[in-house]
């Protein structure tokens, strides 16, 4: 009798153990299967640390934007933000835009402002940029010759209706630079354009359509849509280093170029280290009585033309005069012309 009771008790324990094991197996099984059969497990890319890729499908999550925050442009007079005029090609998405985009500030009307006004405006935009520095003050060498309460040469005069008594009207040409300090080197046209208003477009302003900073490369990358500007190859452009000079990057060398030819053969920025000489003063080129504040001078060693699009110019920039062209740069700067 005791043996039967003991055997029944053992069988009861065995049944409880088997049932418990079955329940545990049912609960745990999906997790084990999920872990072993997960075909979409993310892994870090060994080639590009800012990317992730899917283990089997090799689909890359690229171009993660780290947005730098700018406050609202308080100098915008109901102007529309500059819009992109093209879709980025796969090549440039993959190779160039790898860290984060920097907002591009619209242009402003500086007419009748004082030099002190411009200094305050400039300081605000620098303080809202990656070059923020509590010790920064606008360079007198660059901005010290601005004339108070005078007209400023207008971007529409340069790109559309030409010089004359109305050349000051509208947005001021130099606000492209003053409002966008991260555009260390910009593009200028060599001459005034005079054409029917129906042929005028904001794309002629030569504003950048994208500015990006790559911390890993210590490189600013600036994209311009210029292939639609005048449309034909062989158009002359002029590099303008006004922002570079103001922020202390006075020395520059174009160590790599693609589909670009500099026109000054004896010396140019692709052959030798050059010094940016840019400044703003009261000039007479606008055709307005009494003159307009405008940028100067014309540096022939920065004059170039494009042979084929896309094109690019890579610069090494220094704050102090380097020993030679191979010296380590303070920042890299890449212009892409599309």
Sorted by sequence, the CB contacts under 8 Å of residue 98 that are 6+ apart come out as: 48, 50, 62, 63, 212, 214, 216
Question: Quick one: 59 and 177 in the same domain?
Answer: no
**pLDDT at residue number 8:** 66
Question: Quick one: 61 and 102 in the same domain?
Answer: no
pLDDT digit string (tens) for 279-320? 999 999 999 999 999 999 999 999 999 998 899 999 999 999
What is the C-alpha separation between 162 and 285, in angstroms, rounded? 11
**pLDDT at residue number 195:** 77
The closest of 228, 227, 111, 113 to 173, measured between CA atoms, is 111
Question: Quick one: 167 and 61 in the same domain?
Answer: no
Tokens of 278: 């840019």
Q: State the average pLDDT over residues 265-284.
A: 95
What is the C-alpha separation between 91 and 102, in angstroms, rounded? 20
Domain boundaries, position 46:
41-67
32, part of any domain = no
**pLDDT at residue number 170:** 93
In this structure, are residues 177 and 185 in contact, taking their beta carbons and an 8 Å threshold? Answer: no
Q: State the average pLDDT over residues 323-335.
A: 96
Structural domain tally of the chain?
2
87, part of any domain = no
Q: What is the mean pLDDT of the chain?
A: 78
Query: pLDDT confidence of 271, banded at 50, 70, 90?
Result: very high
In this structure, are residues 52 and 78 in contact, taking their beta carbons and an 8 Å threshold? Answer: no
28, part of any domain = no
Distance in Å from the first CA to the final CA of the chain: 97
pLDDT digit string (tens) for 185-222? 999 988 887 777 777 888 788 899 899 999 889 999 99
Domain end: 67, 85, 115, which one? 67
What is the C-alpha separation between 114 and 110, in angstroms, rounded? 9
> What percent of the chain stands above pLDDT 70?
69
Q: State the average pLDDT over residues 11-20.
A: 68
Question: Quick one: 62 and 100 in the same domain?
Answer: no
What is the C-alpha separation between 269 and 88, in angstroms, rounded? 28
The closest of 166, 137, 176, 169 to 154, measured between CA atoms, is 169
Residue 162's Cβ-count burial label (10 Å; 0-12, 13-18, 19+) is: middle
**pLDDT at residue number 100:** 56
Query: pLDDT confidence of 63, banded at 50, 70, 90?
Result: very low
Residue of higher predicted confidence among 76 and 184: 184
Question: Quick one: 150 and 283 in the same domain?
Answer: yes
78, part of any domain = no
How many separate helices (H) and strands (E) can be counted in the chain?
Answer: 7, 16
Segment among 14-18, 63-67, 232-236, 263-267 with least mean pLDDT:
63-67
Question: Quick one: 62 and 106 in the same domain?
Answer: no
State residue 122 phi and psi, 5-degree precision. Answer: -60, -45
Positive or negative, the Cα torsion across 218, 223, 224, 228? Answer: positive
């Amino acid at each position: 009798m005791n043996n039967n009771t003991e055997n029944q008790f053992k069988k009861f324990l065995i049944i409880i153990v088997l049932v418990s094991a079955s329940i545990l197996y049912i609960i745990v099984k999906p997790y084990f299967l999920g872990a072993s059969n997960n075909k979409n497990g993310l892994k870090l890319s060994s080639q590009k640390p800012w990317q992730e890729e899917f283990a089997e499908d090799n689909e890359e999550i690229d171009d993660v934007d780290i947005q730098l925050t700018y406050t609202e442009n308080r100098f915008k007079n109901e102007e529309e933000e500059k819009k992109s005029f093209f879709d980025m090609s796969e090549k440039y998405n993959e190779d160039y835009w790898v860290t984060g985009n920097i907002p591009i500030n619209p242009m402003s009307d500086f007419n009748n402002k004082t030099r002190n006004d411009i200094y305050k405006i400039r300081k605000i935009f620098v303080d809202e940029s990656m070059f923020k520095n509590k010790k920064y003050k606008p360079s007198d060498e660059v901005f010290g010759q601005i004339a108070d309460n005078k007209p400023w040469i207008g971007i529409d005069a340069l790109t559309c209706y030409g010089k004359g008594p109305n050349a000051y009207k509208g947005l001021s040409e130099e606000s492209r630079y003053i409002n966008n300090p991260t555009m260390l080197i910009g593009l200028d046209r060599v001459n005034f354009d005079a054409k029917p208003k129906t042929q005028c477009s904001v794309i002629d302003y030569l504003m950048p359509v994208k500015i990006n900073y790559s911390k890993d490369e210590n490189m600013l990358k600036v994209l311009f849509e210029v292939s639609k500007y005048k449309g034909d190859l062989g158009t002359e452009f002029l590099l303008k280093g006004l922002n570079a000079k103001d922020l202390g990057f006075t020395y520059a060398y174009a160590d790599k170029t693609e589909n670009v030819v500099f026109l000054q053969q004896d010396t140019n920025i692709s052959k030798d280290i050059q010094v940016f000489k840019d400044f703003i003063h009261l000039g007479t080129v606008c055709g307005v009585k009494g003159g307009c504040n405008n940028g100067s001078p014309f540096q022939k060693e920065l004059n170039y033309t494009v042979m084929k699009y896309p094109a690019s110019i890579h610069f090494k920039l220094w704050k102090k005069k380097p020993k030679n062209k191979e010296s380590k740069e303070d920042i890299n700067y890449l212009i892409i012309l599309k």
